[in-house]
Structure 1
Amino acid sequence: MTASTHIYDFRYPKGAIHQDIASQQFICKTLNFKHLLVNHLLLALVAMFLQQTFAAIGRALPAVIAPAIIADLLIDSAWIGVYFSIAAGAALSTQLGCGSFIVRYGAMRMSQLALILLALGMALATIGHPIALILSAMLSGGGAAVSTPSSSHLLGRCSPPRYLPLIFSIKQTAVPAGLLLAGMLGPRITEWSNWRYTMLISALACIVFTLMLQPLRKKFDDDRDPARKFHFSDFGNTLRAVVGTKELRNLSFACFAFNAVQTIFTVYFVVYLTTMGYTLVAAGFVFSIAVAVAVPGRIIWGLLGSSYVHPRIMMAALAIGMAISMVLLSICGEGWPTIIVGIVATLISATALSWHGVLLAETARAAPEGARGAVTGGVLSFGQVGALTAPSIFSLLLGMTNNYGIGFVVCSLPAMFVGIALLRQRKK
């Protein structure tokens, strides 16, 4: 045996070389596996972010260009609330029953279906006939409602539990991003052409992105269960699963209050500004600038809710903040400086448009394994009740008083009650 061999054996005892190689291979495989997981999560996050962006654009566009629709069809502004109440009613039934379809066909396929229904709804609205508008509200509301449970189901599988609030908050920034694009582009395209052309462009964009999602279906719908069937009892089962669990029940009530405020702000803010002397483009610009704050807002609240602040405390602060902000909006009037109106709208955006990631992450965390889509749909269905009743109440108050401020205050009261209840619950 040579000296070099003796040195070799001295440094590496028998079997150590193989152990070292095996450990290096294990480390490489582990790092590669983690790399694949990260890439898988990023791909899912980007796909669901864009999907929800298009859904938010389609959902908000009728409200953003409402003054042009009202002027063209010669209808009262209170009917905008009726349109969105119908859409919320369709969303309510869709979200309660979509869980079985997500399990059967997969979250990615249901995301595609959501965009197709939304596109059909927007295209129908361009006919302008009352029946077409009703069908438009039903298809648009029902289609857009599927997007969030589907994305929650998909991302819940790909995300580490600890970072769910952050991941869901990043995903949910797609909503203010969509509102921002709708507020900036909708009025300009409408001014350049007409509101019908604007709706058709948005519908076409939804169809194109639906086709772009197709290559991802095999990768992300590998958990689907073709044997799963839809039963009408699914509606009741979902409700019982949500109402029967204290944590989910509290989240449902919060979702009701938050969605009511969000809907009122989204539906009536631009119309409200036009009654104060703003042009459609100017009102849309103020709306889009305010909504832009919700993009970093959702990420910041999600980050704080993941690591620094208890999610219940975070939601309580957001609830009280949105209620106070809506009261401030109610006292704004003609002649007020645009900067003041913009600051108030920004405060509403930072609260009423920024709660989703924290609440949805808490919902996904409390949901049974494999039922995130159904449970998320159940919790969000309570939000749709808020989105259904709030515009109707607002329209009724507007018709009786011809005063927007009263409606803003009344529809923000549930959020104040929820905020106080969450603080008391956390203290106990």
Structure 2
Amino acid sequence: MTHAGAKLTPVWGIGFVLAYQTAIVGMGQTAPVLAPVAAAEIGVDAANVGYFTAIVFGTALFSSNGVAGLMARLGSFVGSAASLLTAALGVLCVAFAESVWMIVLGAMLIGVGYGPVNPLGSRVLMRVAPAGRRNLIFSIKQSSVSIGGAVAGVVLPALALGFGWRAAVAATGVFALIVVGFAFPTRAAVGDDAEAGASIRFIGPLKVAAAVIAEAELRSVAAAAFSFSMMQFGFMSIYVTLLWGWLDIAPAVAAAMLSVSLIASIAGRIFWGWRADGGNPPLILLGLAWCGAVSLMLMLLMSPEWPLFATTLFSAALGFGAMSWSGVLLSEVARIGAARKDPAGTLRATAGTMVFAYLGGLLGPAMLSLSAALFGGYSAGVVAIAACMAATGIALAPNARKTSEMLEARDDG
């Protein structure tokens, strides 16, 4: 692996990864945020918006590992530019859509671009992040998920009001092109990590999933990634539509509540990343899993009688707690991958874990939309996801106990 001109400049690397993931997430949030205003024009039911997110993550599930070898050969920065351009082509399809099939094609292209974002981002951060601050820096990086979603929740409705929803969708692609322009200056500052001899053979998700399951240290982390993703992306895909329907509030207000939750999760990710660097990461994840289970059950109590401040408080609490998981989890995965005797170990371990994360991202929104179709509402799907979060909290208990014992032994030594 080459690192031509490598300076390992943390600010350049962290800043680019943050912008890269923000752009990808913003493009993925176009349909969930704009569904109430765009659905009627295209001739679809806004309650089916979860299927868009399911298609994005279903495609990302394949592209995350399927193109991992190609990403290793191109290097993190050329690879990220390619993924941004692919996703931008997807939002262009959505912006010009006249039928549901163009929306499906757009979702698939966004998914292809979405797949490599965490493997590539983790690979860059493992090179530039100090070991003692790794959880914090990964959590800052993962705050881009919240930044992208929050900005989408505030800016896209405003753009749609002023210029139409199609222009709002296209604007996310323009931002992606701006980020592409910074890929090559960042490569010059941080150094290239392209591997000229890396195999570009497509690897299917089943083979990768089997390898992750066979590795004990990754297995429990991957299972947690599945449940957390099901909760987070299921919530993000339907929250605007849910509040619009359950609380009888304007779509713009509902989108603002999503932004409140996502902004709170930025603070939560940074706080929990800081706590994990000084303590027990599996215990942090265990606590966040139980926060998710309880929060989702409380969501069932929502009604039009709720005052706006109560909805705002709930949205913020959900964001600060359960939706702040990913930085701590991905830092653990990167640590496991970096210990391998493989220059692309972090990329491959993260890509393998993302099979489970993207599967959760696929099933969560689909389950909620299916719940709406079969039972006339989201309640059954919310209960099912809450049960998965509780099961994750139970499953992580042995890992948290083992890590606690290791920390005690280290301190005693």
TM-score for both structures, normalised by structure 1: 0.87
Partner of 2:393: 419
Partner of 1:88: 57
1:202, 1:327 → 2: CA distance? Answer: 33
1:393, 1:233 → 2: CA distance? Answer: 27
Partner of 2:358: 384
2:210, 2:288 → 1: CA distance? Answer: 27
Residue of structure 2 aligned with 1:303, choices 229, 254, 274? 274
Deviation at 1:152, TM superposition (A): 0.4
Instruction: Answer with 238-247 or 53-62: which moved more.
Output: 238-247
> In 2 relative to 1, CA 303–350 (structure 1 residues): closer, same or farther, beyond 3 Å?
same
Instruction: Answer with 125-134 or 46-55: which moved more.
Output: 125-134
Amino acid at match of 1:118: A
2:51, 2:387 → 1: CA distance? Answer: 21
Amino acid at match of 2:225: C
Size of the aligned set, in residue pairs, is: 391
Amino acid at match of 2:73: R
> In 2 relative to 1, CA 192–233 (structure 1 residues): closer, same or farther, beyond 3 Å?
closer
Matching of residue 334 in structure 1 with residue 308 in structure 2: no
For residues 287-366 of structure 1, the aligned pairs below 5 Å read 287-307=258-278, 309-366=279-336
Partner of 2:158: 188
Contact kept, 8 Å, 1:238 with 1:374, in 2: the verdict is no
1:363, 1:107 → 2: CA distance? Answer: 18
For residues 110-129 of structure 1, the aligned pairs below 5 Å read 110-126=79-95, 127-129=97-99
Amino acid at match of 2:311: V
Partner of 1:213: 183
Contact kept, 8 Å, 2:12 with 2:190, in 1: the verdict is no
Contact kept, 8 Å, 1:102 with 1:373, in 2: the verdict is no
Matching of residue 40 in structure 1 with residue 15 in structure 2: no
What is the Cα-based RMSD across aligned positions, in Å? Answer: 1.8
1:392, 1:290 → 2: CA distance? Answer: 21
Amino acid at match of 2:56: A
Deviation at 1:61, TM superposition (A): 2.1
> In 2 relative to 1, CA 186–334 (structure 1 residues): closer, same or farther, beyond 3 Å?
same
Residue of structure 2 aligned with 1:248, choices 184, 209, 218? 218
Contact kept, 8 Å, 1:107 with 1:221, in 2: the verdict is no
1:153, 1:143 → 2: CA distance? Answer: 17
Matching of residue 130 in structure 1 with residue 91 in structure 2: no
2:203, 2:260 → 1: CA distance? Answer: 44
Deviation at 1:184, TM superposition (A): 0.7
Contact kept, 8 Å, 1:183 with 1:285, in 2: the verdict is yes
Matching of residue 283 in structure 1 with residue 254 in structure 2: yes
Residue of structure 2 aligned with 1:108, choices 64, 74, 77? 77
Matching of residue 202 in structure 1 with residue 176 in structure 2: no
TM-score for both structures, normalised by structure 2: 0.90
Segments of 5+ residues of structure 1 without an aligned counterpart are 1-35
Counterpart of 2:255 in 1: which secondary structure? helix
Partner of 1:142: 112
Amino acid at match of 1:181: V
2:355, 2:225 → 1: CA distance? Answer: 9
2:48, 2:90 → 1: CA distance? Answer: 17
